[in-house]
Amino acid sequence: MNQIITAQRNFFNSQATKNLHFRKAQLKTLQKALEQNEALLHEAIYKDFKKSEFDNYSTELSLLYKDIKEARSSIFQWASRKNVSTGILNFPASSYIIPEPLGVCLVIGAWNYPYQLSFAPVIAAIAAGNTVILKPSELPTNTAAAMAKIVKENFDPAFFTVVEGGVEETQELLKQKFDKIFFTGSTKVGKIVYKAAAENLTPVTLELGGKSPAIVTESCNLKVSVKRLVWGKFLNAGQTCIAPDYVLVHKSIEQQFLEQTKEEIISQYFSFENDNYVQIINDRNFERLSKMLVPEKIYYGGETNAETRYIQPTVMQNVTMEDAVMQEEIFGPILPVLTYETIEEAIAKVNSLPKPLSCYLFTKSSSIKKKILKEISFGGGAINETLMHLSNSNLPFGGVGRSGIGSYHGHTGFKTFTHYKSVMDKPTWLDPSIRYSPHTPFRLKLMRWFMKF
C-alpha cells in the first residue's frame, strides 16, 4: 500500500493531473471501459445478488455515464479561476480563487449499488484533478473483482487503482496519509473512518445511512403516492440508503393506505423471475432482517427463503417506535407502517430519531410542505416522490448529523474534491503608509474611514 500511495503522490506532484485535457481524457477512458465491459459488469452483479441488466443499467451505469458526460463538459468552467471584488482598502489589488486538486484520494465504497457508489465519487475526484485509490466493498465479490479488472486494464495505477479487500485491508489503508477520504457505508464504520482520518487531519466526506421517513397525509393522491413509495422501498429489495425506511400515515387513511400498498406490491410483481428483485446480500443480513419480522404485525408478505436469501416485500402494521424494526436502519424489504393524528405528532416522531439521510412527504397541502421542510432536518428528499432527487445532479447529495458529513454529485462533487485557494495579488506601484508606524490619530481616523467600504 505504501508503494501505491508513494507512486500516486509522485504522479500527483508531477503536475500531470492539473491539466484539464488529461482529466477529460481519463474520464473518457473510464466511460469507454465501462461501455465495453457492460456484459462483464452485468454478469458480475447478477452473480452477486441477482441484480438484473435493466436495474444495473438504470440504477448504476446510466448514472455514471451521465456523471461523466456532465463532468467532461463542465470541467473548464468548474476549474476556472474566479475573480472576486477586493474593496478600496486593498486598492489596487485584485483577488481571485483558484480551484486546486487535493492530491491522493481514498474512496471507500458500499456494496448495495456497488458500481455507482464506487465510481461516482471517483469521477468527481478525477474531474477535480486528483489521483484515486478505490476500495470497493468486499461483500459483492464478483463486482469488486470486475471493477479491479477494468481499472487495471485501463489506468496507470500511479493515477487510479483499485485495492480489493475487507476490513483488514481497509484498516491498513486508513493508517496511511491521504489528502481526502470519501467513505460510503454505515454510521458505525463511518466513525472508524473519521477517527482514522483525524490522525492525519485528512478531510473526509462521509455518506452514511439512517432511518428515512415517508410521511403520508390525508390530502395526498393515494394511488400515485403508494405506487412511488412501493417502487422506492422495494427497489434493490430495500437495500437502498435513501429508501423510505418507515411510513407515517394519517390515522384516517391507514386502512386505505394498507390495502393500496398491498395491491401495488402485487401489481409491481417483485420476483427474481421478473428480473426486478434482488437477493439479500448475505446470510448475516438475511438473519438480521428475518428477526425483524414479527408474525402478528405482518399485514402482507413475510415469506422468506434462507437458501436463496429471499425476503418477500413485507408490510408491517400497528408498529410503534419501540418495535425492533424501529431500532435500526432496516436496509431490506420490510415496510413498517405507523400512524399519526396530527402533523406535529408525525414531526415529533421523526425528530426523536437521528437526522435522516432522506425524507419523503406525500401531500397536496402547501402549509404542511412548508412546516415539514422547516421543522425536520434531513440530508435531501422529495415531495410526492421517492429516490428521484438523487438523479438530479444539481441537488447536492449527502446526509446531515448522523447520516453524513459533506455531499457530492455534479458540481458539488467537484467541489468536494477541490481546495479553493484564495489569492490577493497586489502591485507595488502604490503603497499607502496608513498601516505602518507611526500610528498617528490622523491615520487611525483614515483607517476608520477606509474600513467603512
Verify binding: residue 451, ligand NAD, rule CB under 6 A. Answer: no
Please give the helix or strand (H or E) that residue 105 lies within, else none: strand 104-108
Interface pick for ligand NAD out of 99, 109, 129, 213 (rule CB under 6 A):
109
**From candidates 124, 241, 325, 382, binder to ligand NAD by CB under 6 A:** 241
Of the residues 100, 138, 164, 263, which one makes contact with ligand NAD according to CB under 6 A: 138
Position 346 contacts ligand NAD (CB under 6 A): no
Question: Is 362 a residue that touches ligand NAD (CB under 6 A)?
Answer: no
Using CB under 6 A as the binding rule, the residues of this chain from 274 to 303 that contact ligand NAD are none
> Closer CB to ligand NAD, residue 207 or residue 264?
207
Q: How far is residue 304's CA from residue 301's CA, in Å, rounded to a whole number?
A: 9
Which residue, among 440, 200, 433, 238, has the nearest Cα to 330 in the 3D structure?
238
357 binds ligand NAD (CB under 6 A): yes
The answer to whether residue 207 is catalytic is yes
Question: Residue from 46, 111, 310, 417 that binds ligand NAD (CB under 6 A)?
Answer: 111
How many chain residues interact with ligand NAD (CB under 6 A)?
A: 27
CB of 51 to ligand NAD, least distance (A): 14
Alpha helix locations (H) across 208-300?
222-234, 254-268, 283-290
Contacts of 197 (CB under 8 A, 6+ apart): 174, 178, 181, 203, 204
Q: Annotated catalytic residue: which of 60, 70, 207, 264? A: 207
DSSP state of 397: B
Least distance from ligand NAD to the Cβ atom of residue 408, Å: 9
Among 208, 216, 235, 316, binds ligand NAD (CB under 6 A): 208
Which positions from 155 through 174 interact with ligand NAD, judged by CB under 6 A? 166-167, 170-171
DSSP conformational letter for 231: H
Out of 60, 207, 254, 264, the residue judged to bind ligand NAD by CB under 6 A:
207
Rg (CA), the chain: 25
Binding residue (CB under 6 A) for ligand NAD from 94, 142, 186, 365? 186
C-alpha cell at 314: 413485507
55-86 burial by CB neighbour count: b if 16+ within 10 A, else e?
bbeebbbebbeebbebbbeebeebbeeeeeeb
Residues 6+ apart with CB under 8 A from 215: 247, 248, 343, 346, 350, 359, 360, 361, 362, 363, 372
User: Stretches 61-69, 184-192, 265-273, 303-311: which one binds ligand NAD (CB under 6 A)?
Assistant: 184-192
C-alpha 110/C-alpha 139 separation (Å) is 9
The nearest distance, CB 351 to ligand NAD, in angstroms, is: 19
C-alpha cell at 303: 415469506
Residue carrying the nine cell digits 465479490: 141
Residue 359 annotated among the catalytic residues of the structure: no
Q: Rule CB under 6 A: which residues touch ligand NAD?
A: 108-112, 117, 135, 137-138, 166-167, 170-171, 184-186, 189, 192, 207-209, 241, 329, 331, 357, 399, 404
Active site (catalytic) residues? 207, 241
